[in-house]
Amino acid sequence: MRMIQRVLLCCLAVMLLFAATGCPSLDPRTSNQGGGSLLTIFGKVGDNGVIGDLNPDEWQILTDNLPSFAAALGIEIPSDVTIPQLTDEQAQDFVNLLDENNINTIEELQAAIDDGTITVPESLQGSFS
């Protein structure tokens, strides 16, 4: 759960760079569940931190680019933390987790993690180490 917190904090910082990028994804892996780009992610999350509108492809794009953007922003991801490349199933499971728990913002996710009120899908367990 703490890894999800770290990832989401990095995501906030990454949003600053999204406006400078955002070519639509041509990768079949990140264009088969709604598609998206860094610009669509920024447009959805923006200043409000609304993560509940991201589709599975956008979560894959976000996690794929997170290490590069964190480094560019001077945010150090601890060496013992690995950001996985999410599979289609994992990305969909994460979207389902947010939907099933009525989580729309980073703050709501943080509260659910702190309260222990969410159950991490089996496909995501051990993904973030």
> 92-111: per-residue pLDDT in tens?
999 999 999 999 998 898 89
pLDDT digits (tens, 9 = 90+) for 48-104: 778 999 999 999 998 898 888 778 778 788 888 888 889 999 999 999 999 999 999
Domain assignment present for residue 56? The answer is: yes
Domain assignment present for residue 94? The answer is: yes
What is the distance of C-alpha 38 from the center of its chain? 11
**Of 51, 66, 92, 50, nearest in space to 7 by CA:** 66
**Of 123, 105, 118, nearest in space to 54 by CA:** 105
Domain assignment present for residue 89? The answer is: yes
Mean pLDDT within 3-26: 57
Task: Provide the domain count of the chain.
Answer: 1
Domain assignment present for residue 22? The answer is: yes
β-bridge mates for residue 83, sequence order: none
Note down the domain range covering 31: 2-115
Mean pLDDT within 29-33: 80
Alpha-carbon distances, residue 28 vs 10, 21, 36, 53, 96 (angstroms): 25, 19, 11, 21, 21
